[in-house]
Structure 1
């Protein structure tokens, strides 16, 4: 399962040189993961409010390969690679056309609101298998 999320680079995303500020790539890939979770039929607010569980990113390994610039039209490609009872690993890329600008491996853990690891929701486990 994978998903593509379009992103446009606005002035607020850039540094003084018109290049996307490095931390904004993390925002872009967060949007991509959120879109994939929704595509799988999960509502993160309902998970939090009804089940008392949230996703917490515990690890990001990132490579910045080429700069994105003001007004670029980008695509965040998100796919899930692995999962365990509580952990979900994503592979993500930010691309401008066919050029990969940024690549990351992201690990998220399902946690209770009290901060304890818990199993991924049953519906989500079924959807990603």
Structure 2
């Protein structure tokens, strides 16, 4: 069995990411996923600059967001990033 490459990171909601009701605007969730992707790279020693310098392509081919409850200013979200060889 192959070991899964997974990173779990916590992202705190910042003031500029919420609407007038202090709830995260839905489009900002993609930013949180990108933070997870960057954290994944740091954890496994893969920086963006190294990827580009070595002509490696690492496109995002799938993104899933399960909206379980609203997230507000000051809350934290947990982002799980997993490498899947495609």
TM-score w.r.t. the length of structure 2 is 0.76
- Would you tell me which structure has more strand in proportion to its own residues? 1
* Structure 2, unpaired ranges of 5+: none
Greater relative contact order structure (CA < 8 Å, 6+ sep): 2
**Regions of 4+ moved over 3 Å:** none
Q: Could you give the per-residue CA deviations for residues 34-55 of structure 1, whole angstroms, max 9, x where no partner exists?
A: 211221221221221x222342
Aligned mate of 1:65, from 60, 65, 68 = 68
Whole-Å separation in 1 of the counterparts to 2:29 and 2:14: 13
Q: Which one has the bigger helix percentage?
A: 2
More displaced stretch, 1-10 vs 27-36 = 1-10
- Give the total of aligned pairs: 82
1:27 aligns with 2:31: yes
In structure 1, stretches of 5+ residues that fail to align are 85-129
Max Rg structure: 1
